[in-house]
């Protein structure tokens, strides 16, 4: 599609670009989606965490990352059980209320609640709703080949929807585009890690989160404009501790919560929207079989999250690696309320951090929360302790 769907940031300075990004991600009418559809485009909605969006893009569709919303799940509550995380309900509320319209829905069995989504969705909407089975036995000799086949099945289902074949050239072009996107995001995160005073966690989040709402071509343009502007900032380092935020792989914390955190510390790395940054290296182009390297990259050069089971990536070791690589002094181990994978992993993380004597706080959040008093207090005490420890170390 030639027509851009998100132009509000054009010709603006960095602060105003960030304002436009915030307005977009908080707009419950999802204007970019509407514009895309009004221009005749089809939309594939995929629930967190990872989706091979390249295949969707190659079909000329908009891959739309469903990430819940800050609204009350009035209708969804009569379809879904109690004791569930908020994102599951609010995501379904978005379609039940007509705020978003899709042509296809895909979910991965990331957790016991989310693996029900495709079935629930499919009972209520006539468009294709399916489960994409990403491998949970990452070390089987057949896993890559299996995933390649699963991607091919996914491709064929999309082809049925668009009523044409997706060509190899289209797939390769999409791979190039998404490689560029991930490279730009890596640069953005490198700036945050190396010079955190130039860009805060909430600002990076804004630039990252819009990626799931707009075509990647536009996201790349946005990042290419924003990154040099970030580097031109003249902010100077402040006396804030370097912190990791862990727990944002699926349900997203409120932006105001991230702002509160950024006021007292530098978040030098995180797992927010990790699915958009899942693949860590450039996916090589294989014109004979472009899906194979994409499958290989999912398993062999990827990040980690509590919802992926890979014996080669014990979560606590991956967290320690993240801490080491970003020279962090402490960790906020957060979990969305009722999110079993994150809550279970909190235990693992805390035991590992205790053992290595890395300071941390444990906290729960919900996408709809607007009172952060408790967390702010917890954070202040944590930061005080960190500063004290730092002081003792330097005194000693």
Verify binding: residue 135, other proteins, rule CB under 8 A. yes
Distance CA 264, CA 262 (A): 5
Burial (Cβ within 10 Å: 0-12, 13-18, ≥19) of residue 318: middle
> Is residue 167 part of the contact set for other proteins (CB under 8 A)?
no
- Which of 12, 22, 193, 337 is the binder for other proteins (CB under 8 A)? 337
List, in order, residues 6 or more apart from 226 with CB less than 8 Å away. 14, 17, 188, 207
Smaller CB separation from other proteins, 58 or 84 = 84
Residue 107: CB minimum distance to other proteins, A: 10
**Residue 347 is a binding residue for other proteins (CB under 8 A):** yes
By CB under 8 A, name the one of 162, 176, 191, 343 that touches other proteins: 343
- Block residue for tokens 């436009």: 20
Exactly one of 228, 311, 357, 373 binds other proteins (CB under 8 A); that residue is 311
The binding track of 28-67 with respect to other proteins, each residue x by CB under 8 A or -, is ----------------------------------------
Considering the complex, state which of residue 106 and residue 386 has its C-beta at the smaller distance from other proteins. 106
What is the longest distance spanned by two Cα atoms in the chain? 70
What kind and span of H or E run contains 363? strand 360-365
- Taking the C-alpha atoms of residue 209 and residue 207, their distance in angstroms, rounded to an integer, is 6
Q: Residue 238, Cα to own-chain centre: how many angstroms?
A: 28
147 and 135 Cβ atoms separated by less than 8 Å: yes
State which residue, 70 or 350, has the beta carbon closest to other proteins.
Answer: 350
CB contact at 8 A, 173 and 53: no
- Convert residues 193-232 into a mask of x (bound to other proteins by CB under 8 A) and - (unbound): ----------------------------------------
Give the nearer residue to other proteins in terms of CB position, either 218 or 366: 366
Report the residue number, 66 or 227, with the smaller CB distance to other proteins: 66
Residue number with CB closer to other proteins (19 or 131): 131
Q: Which of 214, 328, 338, 383 binds other proteins (CB under 8 A)?
A: 338
Distance CA 261, CA 141 (A): 43
| Residue choice 325, 351, 355, 384 for contact with other proteins (CB under 8 A) | 351
Smallest separation (angstroms) from other proteins to the CB of 360: 13
| Nearest-angstrom CA–CA distance, 92 and 100 | 10
Among 7, 38, 72, 137, which residue sits at the site for other proteins (rule: CB under 8 A)?
137
Asked if residue 142 binds other proteins (CB under 8 A), the reply is: yes
Pick out residues in 95-134 that bind other proteins (CB under 8 A). 109-113, 115-116, 118-120, 122-124, 128-133
Per CB under 8 A, the segment of 5-13, 59-67, 286-294, 305-313 that binds other proteins is 305-313
b/e per residue, 131-160, with b = 16+ CB within 10 A? Answer: bbebbeebeeeebbebbbebbeebbebbee
> Taking contact as CB under 8 A, which single stretch among the options 200-208, 270-278, 303-311, 382-390 is the one that binds other proteins?
303-311
Q: Does 158 bind other proteins (CB under 8 A)?
A: no
Least distance (Å) between residue 41 CB and other proteins = 23
Q: Output the CA–CA distances (angstroms, integers) from residue 17 to 7, 9, 183, 337, in the order listed.
A: 10, 5, 20, 32
Distance (Å, whole) CA 229 – CA 237: 17
- Binding of residue 73 to other proteins (CB under 8 A): no
Cα separation, 42 vs 379, whole angstroms: 44
Closest CA to 51 of 33, 64, 60, 69: 64
Q: Which SS3 state, helix, strand or coil, does residue 158 take?
A: helix
Of 281 and 344, nearer to other proteins (C-beta) is 344
DSSP structural state of residue 80: S
Binding site for other proteins (CB under 8 A): 78-84, 88, 109-113, 115-116, 118-120, 122-124, 128-133, 135-137, 140-143, 145-146, 149-150, 153, 157, 306-307, 309, 311, 314-315, 335, 337-338, 340-341, 343-348, 350-351
């Amino acid at each position: 599609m030639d027509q851009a769907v998100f132009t509000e940031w054009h010709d603006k300075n960095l602060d105003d670009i960030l304002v436009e990004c915030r307005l977009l991600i908080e707009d419950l009418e999802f204007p970019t989606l509407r514009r895309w559809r009004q221009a005749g485009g089809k939309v594939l909605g995929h629930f967190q965490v990872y989706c091979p969006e390249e295949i969707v893009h190659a079909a000329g569709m908009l891959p739309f990352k469903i990430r819940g919303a800050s609204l009350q799940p009035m209708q969804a509550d009569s379809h879904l059980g109690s004791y569930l995380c908020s994102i599951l309900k609010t995501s379904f509320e978005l379609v039940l209320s007509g705020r978003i319209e899709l042509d296809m829905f895909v979910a991965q069995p990331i957790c016991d609640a989310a693996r029900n989504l495709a079935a629930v969705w499919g009972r209520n909407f006539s468009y294709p709703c399916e489960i994409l089975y990403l491998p949970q036995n990452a070390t089987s000799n057949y896993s890559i080949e299996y995933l390649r086949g699963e991607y091919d099945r996914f491709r064929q289902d999309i082809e049925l929807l668009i009523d044409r074949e997706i060509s190899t050239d289209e797939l390769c072009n999409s791979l190039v585009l998404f490689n560029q996107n991930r490279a730009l995001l890596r640069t953005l995160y490198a700036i945050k890690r190396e010079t955190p005073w130039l860009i805060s966690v909430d600002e990076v989040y804004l630039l990252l989160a819009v990626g799931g709402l707009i075509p990647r071509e536009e996201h790349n343009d946005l990042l290419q404009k924003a990154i040099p502007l970030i580097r031109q900032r003249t902010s100077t380092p402040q006396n804030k501790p370097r912190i990791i935020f862990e727990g944002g792989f699926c349900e997203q914390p409120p932006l105001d919560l991230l702002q509160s955190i950024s006021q007292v510390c530098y978040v030098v790395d995180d797992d927010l929207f990790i699915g958009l940054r899942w693949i860590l290296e450039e996916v090589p182009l294989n014109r004979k079989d472009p899906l194979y390297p994409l499958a290989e990259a999912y398993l062999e050069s990827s990040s980690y999250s509590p919802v992926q089971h890979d014996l080669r990536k014990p979560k606590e070791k991956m967290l320690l690696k993240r801490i080491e690589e970003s020279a962090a002094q402490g960790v906020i181990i957060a979990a969305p309320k009722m999110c079993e994978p994150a809550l279970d992993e909190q235990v693992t993380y805390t035991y590992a951090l205790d053992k290595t004597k890395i300071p941390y706080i444990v906290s729960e959040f919900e996408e709809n929360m607007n009172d952060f008093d408790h967390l702010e207090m917890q954070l202040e005490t944590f930061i005080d302790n960190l500063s004290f420890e730092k002081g003792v170390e330097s005194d000693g």
